[in-house]
Chains A and B, each alone.
Chain A
Amino acid sequence: GIQVEQSPPDLILQEGANSTLRCNFSDSVNNLQWFHQNPWGQLINLFYIPSGTKQNGRLSATTVATERYSLLYISSSQTTDSGVYFCAVPTSYDKVIFGPGTSLSVIP
Chain B
Amino acid sequence: DGGITQSPKYLFRKEGQNVTLSCEQNLNHDAMYWYRQDPGQGLRLIYYSQIVNDFQKGDIAEGYSVSREKKESFPLTVTSAQKNPTAFYLCASTYKTQKRLFFGSGTQLSVL
Whether chains A and B associate is yes
Q: Which A residues lie at the B interface, using CB under 8 A?
A: 31, 33, 35, 41-45, 48, 86, 88, 90, 93-101
Candidates A42, A45, A96; contact of B33 at CB < 8 Å = A96
Contact A42 B58 (CB under 8 A): no
Contact A94 B41 (CB under 8 A): no
Contact B105 A98 (CB under 8 A): no
C-alpha gap A98/B106 in the complex (Å): 17
A-B contact pairs, 19 of them (CB 8 A): A31-B100, A33-B100, A41-B106, A41-B108, A42-B103, A42-B105, A42-B106, A43-B90, A43-B103, A45-B103, A48-B98, A88-B101, A94-B48, A94-B99, A95-B45, A98-B35, A98-B43, A98-B44, A100-B41
What's the dominant secondary structure at chain B's contact region?
Answer: strand
Known interface pairs A86-B42, A86-B43, A97-B45. Does A31 touch B105 (Cβ–Cβ under 8 Å)?
A: no
What is the interface residue range for chain B against chain A? 20 to 34
When distances are taken between beta carbons in the complex, the residues of chain A under 8 Å from B90 are: 41, 43
C-alpha gap A90/B31 in the complex (Å): 13
Candidates B48, B88, B100, B105; contact of A95 at CB < 8 Å = B48
**Contact residues of B between 16 and 74, Cβ < 8 Å to A:** 31, 33, 35, 37, 41-45, 48, 50, 56, 58-59
Task: Given A98-B43, A99-B42, output 10 extra A-B contacts at Cβ < 8 Å.
Answer: A31-B100, A41-B90, A43-B90, A43-B92, A45-B100, A45-B102, A95-B48, A96-B45, A98-B35, A98-B44
